[in-house]
Chains A and B, each alone.
Chain A
């Protein structure tokens, strides 16, 4: 079972990591890049498939060379047998369409056609949720989105998945598709390992992927004389390797026109706050005084 997981590097939007300027614009240089958090669910789904059905899990991204660290993060935190980065200047500033074209070409160039393509549920920066489905469209596979659990039947050549359909009342729908297929993992995705042998294998694979990630980390940290591309589990392709016409990728190949960027306004503070020192008796009395009028239930 050959699985390919798509991922993207995004600004680390967690409190304490992310940095905005005075106008509310993201300061990209001051904000670290991490693997898109939703992509971990896709990787977990791929790992479950590997544990249950064997095969390989390849992690692929398109972006600047700095994304090598993003790939390393995915390998360390979840799982990957090998890593692919599609990277050169011609691919830069691509919209989701040009990205999907590029990524689909990368997948077609793999020496073995994937049985399953996995993507996470939208990226933390763009939040379009387009790239996974558009890549699937380029590759002409069936697509199952919002997947919360899945199972592959190798004999039948099918994948059966439960998908979370959000509506007034959330519903869970069970669907089946022939392989190869694309799975978009929902943030609610839960891998299930109901057999001890699966858990043991999961533990083995986790140990191995961490060892591998440490090895790749040594290349990235310049702890060896070698380049990351010397590592046989890492492949970097540029547009020439993929035989892609620069007119159809990157900025030139992107039909999307960005009319403008508005900073997300800060939520206005709705109440006035007074700071209280809990060790100060006067302060504490003030609380009591202020709350007393409400004590009767007004």
Chain B
């Protein structure tokens, strides 16, 4: 039967920026390329903060690969970048100008539905000329193997497809990466969870409230005591006619301390600092969530197996170091390098070597060092060891530490702007909570604004999302429904909450065998496919079939 299978030189799974970069590069080199996207439209399954960076040091940027990208697919060009250290009403703001502009050619705010669907149209035009093309509503559900070796993909909607190279750009919850044994969903420490609200802005409001010109934008970051001690921070980016306001936390922090992600987001939305920016008329266009791999821990040093090459989130290529948050640009570079690796291998007559070429390109082009900085490996990790962490935390919060912060004063701003220092920040409460809080308390000024925003309840947020439900075919199944195994999902899932019946996960007590059991039940209908429960609960986790599930309009 296998002789009947279709064959393409290259199959790219996922039409995000990584997949688009790979496909465009393959098509430019006349490689017959088929791109498979599970969403009803590219971008309908994608969420990011989102700022897209073009780095000066990078061999490929997205506007190199797609001329007109900035004119057609992005929102405002972000030229100002601030971080706010918050303690109660007290705020100390640092200008991150130098850090933001370090190695940055440009940085634009984006909404993924607009961006990815534009990219997908270009990709389809380019790949169609090679005999391939881009298909939506096709979900790749696994790898096709022959004699134990990966030779193609299997899909829900079409027959298996053979390929000389498979670019797995299927995102943070990559089923291909799991099938190949290259990634797992075991440790919450290895992931961040982001939630975001896209907030409508009246015409002219962004220019007026943020003091920017038309087409120009600003990025604000937030850390300190406004997130109940959860390790992470908040962001606000200006789009053309809306704001992206979101929070990103270490998933283990969300899981262990039973935080409700949507409530932490609300803490930011209702903080007095945001009062003047958000205004009195609050209209939330979309609530969304996603997992983010922590590249320092999970960027795979050898992200390939047989004919499969992983790029972007699928390979853990998402850089988050303190205020530096970069993912899409690395996915673009990796996608183009993976494509280049296959082209090289083909020209040498040995396409099986594509993976090895890709791996060495990630090294020599400096991608891996950005994703897993040596400085973090040596110093940062040390800071995360329990005793060292509590010691530094206590030290900063002590009178001596406070005196130090006071003495350093505004020169702290310079330290925050050092890519070198930021690169070795340990991922602990110290950097996210304690230090910013102490800075705000010692150096900050109280903000005057009165925030009247009332963010929507979770059931309204879910109710406003668009879903195409795959009736009778749930894509996630609970393997162990005991509260001990899967109860964390009740709080950690961004569309579930304790004592809320309309979410994915809820807990209940049932009487069985004469005793009472604390169990969890799952309804996948409101699922936003973020993958949180794959990590914090005991599940069989897959994506919905092509075109089914949530459809983001903003992303």
Contacts and interface: CB of A to CB of B under 8 A. Distances in A.
Contacts of B159: 194-195
B132 A200 contact: yes
B554 to A, nearest CB: 25
Contacts of B132: 200
Contacts of B8: 196
Interface string A188-230: 0000011111011001100000000000000000000000000
B520 to A, nearest CB: 30
Nearest to A201: B133
B151 to A, nearest CB: 16
Of the four ranges (under 10, 10 to 19, 20 to 34, 35 or more), the interface on chain B belongs to: 10 to 19
Q: Which of B34, B124, B158 has the most CB of A within 10 A?
A: B158
A246 B64 CA distance: 68
A197 B158 CA distance: 10
Given A193-B158, A194-B158, A199 B6 contact: no
A200 B6 contact: no
B123 interface: no
Contact of B6 (A195, A203, A204): A195
Nearest to B161: A196
A229 B313 CA distance: 55
B135 A195 contact: no
A93 B6 CA distance: 52
Given A203-B133, A203-B135, A196 B158 contact: yes
A151 to B, nearest CB: 15
B158 A200 contact: no
Interface in B138-159: 138, 157-159
A203 B128 CA distance: 11
A142 B8 CA distance: 40
A194 B159 CA distance: 6
A194 B6 CA distance: 10
B158 A195 contact: yes
Contacts of A200: 34, 128, 132-133, 135
Contacts of B157: 194
Contacts of B124: 203
Interface in B1-39: 6, 8, 34, 36
A204 B6 CA distance: 19
B128 A196 contact: no
Nearest to B137: A199
Interface string B368-400: 000000000000000000000000000000000
A199 B156 CA distance: 14
Interface of A: 193-197, 199-200, 203-204
Given A196-B158, A200-B132, 13 more contacts: A193-B158, A194-B157, A194-B158, A195-B159, A196-B6, A196-B34, A196-B161, A197-B6, A199-B135, A200-B133, A203-B124, A203-B135, A204-B128
21 contacts: A194-B157, A194-B158, A194-B159, A195-B6, A196-B34, A196-B36, A196-B135, A196-B138, A196-B158, A196-B161, A197-B6, A199-B135, A199-B138, A200-B34, A200-B128, A200-B132, A200-B133, A200-B135, A203-B133, A203-B135, A204-B128
